[in-house]
A and B are shown apart, each in its own frame.
Chain A
Amino acid sequence: MAAAAVALVLVLWLSAIPISWFPEPVGSSAEEFAGGVRTTVELTLIAGLIGTLIGVGAGLGKLSHIPPVRWVCGAYVWAIRGTPLITQIFFVYFALPEIVPWLQMSDFAAATVALAGNVGAYNAEAIRAGLLAVPRGQREAARALGLSQTQAFLHVTFPQAFRISLPPLVNNIVALLKDSSLAFSIGVLELTNVGDRIRSATFQPKPVLLATALIYLLLTSLMTLFSSSLEKRMDIEERQP
């Protein structure tokens, strides 16, 4: 797991070097591409982290004993899953400041908010499924020992639920990495945007798009590597081959 984390950091800081070995016109634009990679990874990590917290909150909310909490969280998941991501990005960037003037955000911030809100809805379902999969007897045993509701949740229910939710959560984050390319639409200089600018400046779509795709593939592979080592660590029962 540590190795995968180190690899990710290396990609972030040193990606310009391997990209410079790519054929023209990519090689000579390595610095621009590296900047795009950094922005894409930043978008993914920040939105992914916030989206996971939102997911835990909304996943719990959908199982709440308080009906209005359930309704609000249900409506959130319903609205996000039922509308296109690009509409959500445009909404946060263009429409939100009209409704709430102090919510005027930079393109990067707007994209992060929209992506976090989007992945949060999908994560909520993953977390909810994990929470439901923990047997009732676990919470009962915790309560019978005198643990408070919060202690039972933090030390008994949640660790088990999270382990069950992990594979779908990773799925969502991998999808988020690719979806972050839609930040292009409001001008964020992430990987897809950088590639597209170089394509239109050089009129060489083939090498540029292949390089872009290859870099995305490398990033998602790293992420999968990281998550499978995490899963392995959490697989106490050694159920995976």
Chain B
Amino acid sequence: MTQGGAPLITLEGVCKRFGKVEVLREISTSFASGSVAVILGSSGSGKSTMLRLINRLESLDAGAIVFEGRRLGPGTGTVAQLQALRTEIGMVFQQFNLFPHLTVLENVMLAPRLVRGTPREEARAKALELLVRVGLEEHAPKHPFALSGGQQQRVAIARALAMNPRVILFDEPTSALDNETVGEVLDVMKELARSGMTMIVVTHELGFAREVADRILFLEKGRILQDAPPAEFFERQQDPRIRAFLGRISH
């Protein structure tokens, strides 16, 4: 580990299988507060599953995940504990998953109102502030369908930020976007990283990884094959499998 912050999330021998397929095999690593980790790997390597285990959209089969000293293993954790955990972990999805029946503003306000009981005016002010931050304040009254993919994803980031999470998980946030709008989403993510947000990002955007990440985790067949700072990972890559992977996705 190269960064100095205290670990916010620690994975201890985490295993996950879907039926007979072992998706994650004894993953152990930790993520420091304020750090940006980028997870690379070919499809089916377990990247998304690893993210989804952290906020328990998937249950784990063995091992444990420690979040700020709270350890949750398989089958442990009440519904309320898991819910409380999720309020502190933001997530941004590949398909945005904005709520189509609500306006942009309502999308951002919903969770603070329902989960934290924030008064309407306060939630509204905070939501508008976040929409300014992602450059979409003038779209506040619109419904998501009226926005481009890049704009929708920026709303999704604002929606995650509205809960003041300790960490945000990004699950291939630009994979569903056309090339023109990828940049605007990456810019918002870079700004977030500079502001000190803890981020775990599954992506194929090597430029972003090189520029923003504190470390790169490379997953293969459910194991961490390599864990290195970007300079080392990209400039002095020794592993032929990773070199082949980088060659495939950089054009």
Q: Do A and B come from one complex?
A: yes
Nearest B residue to A158 via CB reads B101
Please indicate which of the listed interface residues A138, A146, A151 has the most CB atoms of chain B within 10 Å of its own CB: A146
Q: When A146-B115, A147-B114 are in contact, do A141 and B97 touch as well, CB less than 8 Å?
A: yes
Q: Please report which residues of chain A, range 185-239, place their CB below 8 angstroms from some CB of chain B when the two chains form the complex.
A: 236-237
Looking at the complex, which of B82-90, B131-139, B225-233, B236-244 is the stretch in contact with chain A?
B82-90
Query: Which one, A144, A151, A163, contacts B101 given CB within 8 A?
Result: A163
B111 interface residue, CB < 8 Å from A? yes
Query: Which one, B57, B95, B145, contacts A144 given CB within 8 A?
Result: B57
Query: Which one, A140, A149, A159, A237, contacts B97 given CB within 8 A?
Result: A140
B234 interface residue, CB < 8 Å from A? no
B163 interface residue, CB < 8 Å from A? yes
Contact with B along A140-162 (1 / 0, CB 8 A): 11111111110100011001100
Judge whether B114 and A151 touch: CB under 8 Å. Answer: yes
Q: When A145-B111, A148-B83, A155-B110 are in contact, do A237 and B93 touch as well, CB less than 8 Å?
A: no
Contact with A along B95-112 (1 / 0, CB 8 A): 101111100000000110
> Could you tell me the distance between the alpha carbons of A236 and B99 in the complex, rounded to whole angstroms?
12
> Could you tell me the distance between the alpha carbons of A163 and B101 in the complex, rounded to whole angstroms?
9
Judge whether B114 and A160 touch: CB under 8 Å. Answer: no
Judge whether A144 and B91 touch: CB under 8 Å. Answer: yes
Nearest B residue to A145 via CB reads B111
The smallest beta-carbon distance between B186 and chain A, in angstroms, is 21
Judge whether A147 and B111 touch: CB under 8 Å. Answer: yes
A82 interface residue, CB < 8 Å from B? no
A84 interface residue, CB < 8 Å from B? no
Kindly list chain A residues whose C-beta atoms are within 8 Å of the C-beta of B83.
146-148
The smallest beta-carbon distance between B67 and chain A, in angstroms, is 13
Nearest B residue to A163 via CB reads B101
Q: Please report which residues of chain A, range 162-201, place their CB below 8 angstroms from some CB of chain B when the two chains form the complex.
A: 163
> Could you tell me the distance between the alpha carbons of A137 and B144 in the complex, rounded to whole angstroms?
15
Judge whether B100 and A147 touch: CB under 8 Å. Answer: no
The smallest beta-carbon distance between B57 and chain A, in angstroms, is 6
Kindly list chain A residues whose C-beta atoms are within 8 Å of the C-beta of B110.
145, 147, 155
B204 interface residue, CB < 8 Å from A? no
Category for how many chain B residues contact A: 20 to 34
Nearest B residue to A144 via CB reads B91
Kindly list chain A residues whose C-beta atoms are within 8 Å of the C-beta of B115.
145-147, 151
Judge whether A146 and B99 touch: CB under 8 Å. Answer: no
Nearest A residue to B85 via CB reads A146
Judge whether A237 and B87 touch: CB under 8 Å. Answer: no
> Could you tell me the distance between the alpha carbons of A115 and B136 in the complex, rounded to whole angstroms?
50
Nearest A residue to B55 via CB reads A144
Contact with A along B57-93 (1 / 0, CB 8 A): 1000000000000000000000100011011011101
Judge whether B101 and A160 touch: CB under 8 Å. Answer: yes
Nearest B residue to A156 via CB reads B99
Kindly list chain A residues whose C-beta atoms are within 8 Å of the C-beta of B47.
none
> Could you tell me the distance between the alpha carbons of A156 and B90 in the complex, rounded to whole angstroms?
18
Judge whether B86 and A143 touch: CB under 8 Å. Answer: yes
Q: Please report which residues of chain A, range 76-97, place their CB below 8 angstroms from some CB of chain B when the two chains form the complex.
A: none
Query: Which one, B87, B95, B114, B143, contacts A137 given CB within 8 A?
Result: B95
Query: Which one, B57, B89, B114, B160, contacts A155 given CB within 8 A?
Result: B114
> Could you tell me the distance between the alpha carbons of A163 and B79 in the complex, rounded to whole angstroms?
29
The smallest beta-carbon distance between A143 and chain B, in angstroms, is 6
Kindly list chain A residues whose C-beta atoms are within 8 Å of the C-beta of B154.
none
Q: Please report which residues of chain A, range 42-61, place their CB below 8 angstroms from some CB of chain B when the two chains form the complex.
A: none
> Could you tell me the distance between the alpha carbons of A144 and B111 in the complex, rounded to whole angstroms?
10
Kindly list chain A residues whose C-beta atoms are within 8 Å of the C-beta of B215.
none
B16 interface residue, CB < 8 Å from A? no
> Could you tell me the distance between the alpha carbons of A155 and B112 in the complex, rounded to whole angstroms?
13
Q: Which residues of A line the B interface, CB within 8 A?
A: 135, 137-138, 140-149, 151, 155-156, 159-160, 163, 236-237
Given A143-B86, A145-B110, 5 additional A-B pairs, CB 8 A: A138-B99, A141-B93, A148-B83, A236-B143, A237-B143
A-B contact pairs, 20 of them (CB 8 A): A135-B95, A135-B97, A140-B57, A140-B93, A141-B93, A141-B97, A141-B98, A142-B99, A143-B57, A143-B86, A144-B55, A144-B89, A146-B84, A147-B83, A147-B110, A147-B114, A151-B114, A155-B114, A236-B145, A237-B145
